[in-house]
Amino acid sequence: MFYAGILIIVLVAVAIVKRIEVRLVLFSAGLLMCLFAGDPLRAIDAFTSGMVHGTLVPYICTVMGFAYVLKITECDAHLVHFLTKPMTKFNKGLIPATVIVTFLVNTALTSAAGVAAAVGAILIPILIAVGVKPAMAAAAVMAGTFGSDLNPGYAHIVVVAGIADVGVMDVVAAIAPRVIICALIGAVSLTIIAFAGKEYKGHVPDALKITEDSLAGDGLSDFKVNPLKAIVPIVPLVLLILGSSMVGLSPKEITVPQAMFAGIFLAGLVALKNPQEVSKAFFSGIGSAYGDVIGIIVAAGVFTTGMEMIGLTEALISAMERSEAVLKVASSFGPMLIAFLCGSGDAATMAFNNTITPNAAQFGLDTISLGNTALVAGSLGRTMSPVAGAAIICASLAKVNPLEITKRNAIGMLIAVAFVMFTLR
């Protein structure tokens, strides 16, 4: 059965790379392994228990509901414009500034593709207008699309918190230094590449040339930022920080759903939006969260159950116990490679964290550190993937091949993954 399990794992990797529906692949593989182990009903039990997870479901659903409310109230657009307007005054610093602004926006708005579209639609034309090569402009936006790793409601943060049995803010506090350093590595690396290749100025093809007069009418200057709307997306994050046990300004620790509901009510109030529209958007977000995000988590749970039943988990743990180097490489470059190939860090990260991370103590490692390593590595792999949704959006906006983005971001992301691996403790 062990070798059959190995074959199934290989087939799963191939299927994910070929972009076959991830939930179907994970569920089918888990069910097949449970069948080989003589108890296929265990797969269904794992599926149903994941569907009603007491922490994952309310956390992720309220976060996605909040994101949908931000969209219909246009609070997300006001935040993007608020952060990007000052950037036009700093010509030579545009590339690193673009990475950091995208990163900051992605911290509040967790969808990488959504942030790539929102920020890219504004910044990519501006960067090109001032002479930045289109591929570099697209790469700068793409390089900042892993800021969601700092959002307390991000699915992987919630998973790691559950495994370690700590609050989500404890996980965010632990992961923040590593993620911020990775962002700086990406920004500095891309800036060096831009200056070395002279891609930060002088690009003025007629088809894309934008004069100062036309730039003034691109919607950036015409857009009037409402400071209250711009603040709304970060209110839940502030509440979670102030209400965490680490800060202790609240008599009772504020949970993610509580913070998200505060943001939802504030968004509707500031935007003077019809409560019915806010309600519809919120519940649409819940549906999207359940199907797109929680669906992957549930399917990954079936997959890891199958691995346990067929003996693969125990074998992997035994192999890693014999070599700390193997574990460090597997926890970092493993999720990174799968994410790079398939354009999503979710499947590999979820599988690793559900299978290996709960046994961190056996390896003499901190559970939060190990879980965060896989989390960040998966995000970095997706950030340099040419088939990621966010990369395709950025490439489309810049009218370049997604591989051009990968060529520019790969060096920085690989250095960042190496940094994450060496800081695993």
Mean pLDDT of the chain: 86
Q: Is 273 helix (H, G, I), strand (E, B) or coil?
A: coil
Task: Evaluate if residue 248 carries a pLDDT over 50.
Answer: yes
Query: Looking at residue 206, what is its pLDDT?
Result: 46
Backbone dihedral angles phi then psi of residue 169, each to the nearest 5 degrees: -70, -25
Residues 6+ apart with CB under 8 A from 372: 160, 171, 174, 175, 178
**What is the CA 302 to chain-centroid distance, rounded?**
22
CA proximity to 9, closest of 272, 269, 249, 304: 304
Residue 88 vs residues 62, 82, 94, 95, 404: alpha-carbon distances, Å: 35, 12, 7, 11, 24
Predicted pLDDT at 208: 40
pTM confidence score? 0.77
**Domains identified in the chain, total number:** 1
Q: State yes or no: pLDDT of 357 exceeds 70.
A: yes
DSSP code for 388: S
pLDDT at 170: 93
Only one residue has tokens 């649409």, namely: 284
Compute and round to an integer the Cα radius of gyration of the chain.
22
pLDDT at position 174 is 95
Confidence (pLDDT) at 211: 41
Which of 313, 273, 235 is CA-nearest to residue 73?
Answer: 273
pLDDT in tens, 292-309: 878 887 888 898 889 889
Residue-level length of the chain:
425
What per-residue confidence (pLDDT) applies to 207?
Answer: 44
Residue type, 337: L
Q: Which residue has the tokens 């929102």?
A: 118
- Worst-scoring range by mean pLDDT, 116-130, 213-227, 257-271? 213-227
Do 132 and 92 contact (CB within 8 A), yes or no?
no
Task: Give the lowest-confidence range in 40-54, 188-202, 204-218.
Answer: 204-218
What is the extent of the structural domain holding 161? Answer: 2-422
